[in-house]
Amino acid sequence: MGQTSDKRDALKRWLQERLTRDERGREEWRQLAEAVWDHLLLTPVHDLVDANTAKALADRLAAPEFVSELTRPVMANVMGALIEEMREDAEPVGRFVPEEAKAKLHEVLSRPGLVHPDWVHAMLRGEAVEEVLNDILYRALLDFSTLLPRILVKVSSTRRFSVLGSAGMFAERMIGEVQKLIEPEIRAFLADSTGRVLESAAEFTIANIDNPAQIEFRSSFIDFVLSKSPAFLLMNSDDELLDDMGAVIELTAQHLAEAPETRDAIHRSVDRLMEHCSDKNLGEALQWNDTSPRPPIDALADATWPAYVAAVTSPGAQRFMDGIVDGLIDEYERDASK
Q: What is the pLDDT of residues 72-130, one digit of tens each?
A: 777 777 787 888 889 899 999 999 999 999 999 999 989 888 888 898 888 888 777 88
In a domain, residue 38? The reply is yes
- pLDDT at 224 (0 to 100): 94
In a domain, residue 265? The reply is no
- pLDDT at 49 (0 to 100): 92
DSSP per position, 313-328: TSHHHHHHHHHHHHHH
> Is residue 123 domain-shared with residue 214, that is, in the same domain?
yes
Give the residue with greater pLDDT, 180 vs 291.
291
Instruction: State the greatest distance between any 2 C-alpha atoms of the chain, in Å, as a whole number.
Output: 136
The least confident of 223-227, 266-270, 330-334 is 330-334
CB 25 within 8 A of CB 19: yes
Q: Compute the average pLDDT of residues 29-33.
A: 93
> Is residue 22 domain-shared with residue 113, that is, in the same domain?
no
> Is residue 134 domain-shared with residue 233, that is, in the same domain?
yes
Domain of 198?
99-237
Looking from the CA of 316 toward its CB, the CA atoms found within 13 Å total 2
Check pLDDT > 60 for residue 156.
no
> Is residue 134 domain-shared with residue 198, that is, in the same domain?
yes
> Is residue 336 domain-shared with residue 213, that is, in the same domain?
no
- pLDDT at 161 (0 to 100): 44
In a domain, residue 267? The reply is no
What SS3 class is residue 217? Answer: helix
Q: What's the number of domains the chain is made of?
A: 2
What SS3 class is residue 281? Answer: strand
Check pLDDT > 80 for residue 168.
no
Q: What is the pLDDT of residues 248-291, one digit of tens each?
A: 888 888 888 888 898 999 999 999 999 999 899 999 999 888 78
Q: Give the pLDDT band (50/70/90) at residue 195.
A: confident
CB 312 within 8 A of CB 25: no
Q: Give the pLDDT band (50/70/90) at residue 300.
A: very high
Q: Of 237, 261, 296, which residue constitutes the final position of a domain?
A: 237
- pLDDT at 248 (0 to 100): 87
In a domain, residue 126? The reply is yes
In a domain, residue 67? The reply is no
Query: CA 98 to CA 91: how far, in whole Å?
Result: 15
CB 27 within 8 A of CB 306: no
Percentage of the residues of the chain whose pLDDT score is greater than 70: 88
> Is residue 131 domain-shared with residue 186, that is, in the same domain?
yes
> Is residue 287 domain-shared with residue 230, that is, in the same domain?
no
Percentage of the residues of the chain whose pLDDT score is greater than 90: 36
In a domain, residue 212? The reply is yes
- pLDDT at 154 (0 to 100): 58
CB 230 within 8 A of CB 93: yes
In a domain, residue 119? The reply is yes
Q: Give the pLDDT band (50/70/90) at residue 189.
A: confident
DSSP per position, 33-99: HHHHHHHHHTSBHHHH--HHHHHHHHHHHT-HHHHHHHHHHIIIIIIHHHHHHHHT--S-GGGGS-H
CA proximity to 301, closest of 11, 2, 32, 12: 32
Q: Which residues pair with 281 in a beta bridge?
A: 44
- For the chain, give the number of residues: 338
Query: CA 139 to CA 119: how far, in whole Å?
Result: 28
Q: Compute the average pLDDT of residues 328-333.
A: 87
Check pLDDT > 90 for residue 165.
no
Note the pTM of the prediction, 2 decimals: 0.64
- pLDDT at 309 (0 to 100): 93
- pLDDT at 285 (0 to 100): 92
> Is residue 33 domain-shared with residue 130, that is, in the same domain?
no
Check pLDDT > 90 for residue 158.
no
Q: Of 169, 203, 237, which residue constitutes the final position of a domain?
A: 237
CB 152 within 8 A of CB 164: yes
Q: What is the DSSP letter of 280?
A: -
- pLDDT at 120 (0 to 100): 86
Helix 165-207 with 147-156: angle, nearest 10 deg: 140
CA proximity to 137, closest of 204, 201, 193, 199: 193
Q: Of 173, 206, 237, which residue constitutes the final position of a domain?
A: 237
CA distances from 215 to 42, 111, 114, 186, 203 (A): 48, 9, 10, 35, 17
In a domain, residue 66? The reply is no
- pLDDT at 31 (0 to 100): 93
Name 91's Cβ contacts closer than 8 Å, sequence gap at least 6: 229
